[in-house]
Amino acid sequence: MKLTEIRKLQIEYGFDKMQNIIDTGAVWLMEGSMGREAMHLLEVGACFLPNKQRRGYYGNIIPSRSELQNGSKGTILNTIRFYEQR
């Protein structure tokens, strides 16, 4: 499954807006409920982390997806698994 296919599925399932604010890093600067929702979607695989590392509101580092073990939350493989089950 290619990244373009994942993006189309995110639009279909309504996860595209959250993916966009994860990509820009804006979600980590918003209220806590948004960050918690983003973390949940990363964990289940509906969304993935961007290629660029970000910093959260309190300065904590949000890793890029390439810094993570393949298949763990926030990676493309985790997202592929999520959408293949749909």
| Average pLDDT across the chain, whole number | 95
* Residue 18: partners with Cβ closer than 8 Å, 6 or more residues away: 27, 37, 38, 41, 46, 47
State the Cα–Cα distance between residues 86 and 81, nearest whole angstrom: 9
The per-residue pLDDT for range 67-83, each reduced to its tens digit, is 999 999 999 999 999 99
The per-residue pLDDT for range 49-67, each reduced to its tens digit, is 999 999 998 999 999 999 9
